[in-house]
Structure 1
Amino acid sequence: MEHQVTLIDYAERGTALYIQAEVFDAGQGERFREEVRFLGDLLYGDLVHPDKSPLTESCRLYVISYLKTHFNR
């Protein structure tokens, strides 16, 4: 199985974009559901933070790439 990102909901407020996402981490075989946010072009949230993320590194990088591509940021 591969890493997966499912967008649950998102809302734009000014230059901020709040995203509810569910992520399947294939390395762990687990799902995680959390909010991340773009402030301008920068992505924030524990899910994508290098030190706080519960995801494997390959999944964390996949999520960042997916969100930047999907939201064109």
Structure 2
Amino acid sequence: MNPKRSGRTSPSIEQEPVPRLPHERDESSDSQIGGEPRPIIQQAHDDVMAGRVDTDRGVPMDQAYKRQKQAAVPSPKK
């Protein structure tokens, strides 16, 4: 990494500076806070490292949706 470069980019249109778009502000390297991770992120890391599975409702809901879709598909006519 070049220490003279900060990693900050400046958006411009026709060489004129323009404000950043929301996603550019959110995802830019200079908008990230260094240091300790937030407690919820640390908990997520600890859960994954302990082998715990995802606790959201995504997996069970996906399974229920697939079962419903299979039951709703009419069998092919012969």
- TM-score normalised over the length of structure 1: 0.24
Tell me which protein shows more helix as a share of its residues: 2
Structure number with greater Rg is 2
Tell me which protein shows more strand as a share of its residues: 1
- TM-score normalised over the length of structure 2: 0.23
